[in-house]
């Protein structure tokens, strides 16, 4: 039980590292009424993530899929996935992916460049300054991803009471939107500082994103391998 809960909270942290959400927050913070825009986006994101989360968890529980998952998930799978993550971290850390990066860069440079680079549709829409628009964008950009579905699957496997499962789904959804919730709260008390902090964070991720990815992949891979080995003993 404790191991499953730890996995769910770890997945919540991973789901929070969502570049699209960070970009959306940065755009909204630079608008004339950022708090209103972020609040609209947050309501839309909550509507999609919490509603779908509850539907999926209780559907899994009722269908017996969660019990089947208990029988099929093995320590070997943890070790295999962890080993792949460690291998990915090693490749990135040693620069062995450099030939692929150079080839991708050459193909990118060979493409004809448009006269004017357009911003993503979601960012252009958010620039209009409407909370209704950001609510709709929050709805559309919050559909389930792999990490989200994995966490819901683990919640369904807990055999916990419905109230506890509901609380876990809501908690996970709150965790995965921390990049939006924290600036929204911070903007309420320190708007100017928050704008600068988010801009600095985005710049840091641009400079150090590769290094952070290596550490995250290595840490998660090590946890999965160790857990798999412990469960085999």
> Model confidence over 193-222: pLDDT tens digits?
877 887 787 777 677 777 877 887 888 788
Domain range spanning residue 36?
2-232
Quote the percentage of the chain above a pLDDT of 90. Answer: 12
| Global model pTM greater than 0.75 | no
Does the pLDDT of residue 122 top 60, yes or no?
no
> Model confidence over 91-111: pLDDT tens digits?
888 887 677 767 767 776 676
Q: Rounded CA gap, 134 and 181, in Å?
A: 14
Q: Which stretches of the chain are assigned E, i.e. beta strand?
A: none
How many domains is the chain built from? 1
User: Of 14-28, 30-44, 112-126, where does mean pLDDT reach its minimum?
Assistant: 112-126
Look at residue 157 and give its three-state secondary structure. coil
Contact status, residue 139 vs residue 49, Cβ threshold 8 Å:
no
Q: Rounded CA gap, 25 and 32, in Å?
A: 13
pLDDT at 114: 53
Averaged over 49-66, what is the pLDDT?
76
Provide CB contacts within 8 A for 170, sequence distance 6+.
Answer: 50, 53
């Amino acid at each position: 039980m404790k191991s499953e809960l730890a996995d769910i909270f770890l997945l919540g942290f991973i789901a929070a590292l969502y570049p699209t959400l960070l970009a959306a927050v940065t755009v909204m913070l630079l608008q004339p009424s950022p708090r209103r825009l972020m609040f609209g986006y947050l309501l839309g994101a909550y509507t999609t993530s919490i509603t779908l989360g509850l539907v999926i968890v209780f559907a899994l529980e009722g269908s017996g899929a969660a019990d089947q998952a208990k029988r099929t998930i093995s320590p070997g799978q943890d070790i295999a996935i962890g080993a792949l993550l460690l291998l990915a971290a090693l490749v990135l850390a040693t620069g062995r992916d450099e030939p692929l990066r150079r080839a991708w860069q050459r193909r990118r440079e060979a493409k004809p460049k448009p006269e004017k680079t357009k911003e993503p549709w979601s960012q252009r829409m958010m620039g209009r300054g409407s909370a209704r628009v950001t609510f709709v964008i929050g709805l559309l950009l919050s559909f389930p991803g792999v990490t989200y579905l994995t966490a819901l699957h683990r919640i369904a496997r807990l055999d916990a009471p419905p109230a506890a499962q509901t609380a876990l789904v809501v908690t996970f959804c709150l965790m995965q939107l921390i990049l939006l919730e924290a600036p929204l709260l911070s903007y309420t008390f320190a708007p100017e500082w928050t704008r600068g902090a988010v801009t600095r964070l985005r710049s840091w991720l641009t400079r150090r994103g590769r290094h952070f990815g290596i550490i995250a992949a290595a840490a998660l891979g090590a946890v999965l391998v160790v857990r798999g080995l412990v469960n085999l003993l």
